[in-house]
Amino acid sequence: MKIKPIPTFTSEEEEREFWANHDATDFIDFSEARRALMPNLRPTLKTVSIRLPESLLESIRVLAHKRDVPYQSLMKMLLAEGLERELYVQREQ
């Protein structure tokens, strides 16, 4: 199969429109593709505001200090663990 040349685009919008209406397999030879490693990518973060009782926040800070981690990092870890636990329970039911 003959690979078509990729056109030159004048804007990201034009490129988005092009790829939304064309199949990449007509333009890219995927048989020569190699897996790309991108170890420095970070997930997109969204700032949220949450009201917590002062006693709960103080307990989190004490625990974070004992574990030698920032308290916000500990909160993310605890949320992720709790979510994983809940999802596991739902899968088991």
Confidence at residue 38, expressed as pLDDT on a 0 to 100 scale? 86
Write the CA distances from 85 to 15, 45, 60, 76, 90, integer angstroms.
Answer: 42, 22, 19, 14, 9
DSSP string, 15-84: HHHHHHHS-GGGT--GGG--PPP-TT-------------HHHHHHHHHHHHHHTS-HHHHHHHHHHHHHH
pLDDT digits over 2-13, tens only?
889 999 999 999
pLDDT category at 1 given cuts 50, 70, 90 is: low
| pTM of this structure | 0.53
pLDDT digits over 47-70, tens only?
999 999 999 999 999 999 999 999
Confidence at residue 90, expressed as pLDDT on a 0 to 100 scale? 73
Q: What average pLDDT does range 33-52 have in this prediction?
A: 90
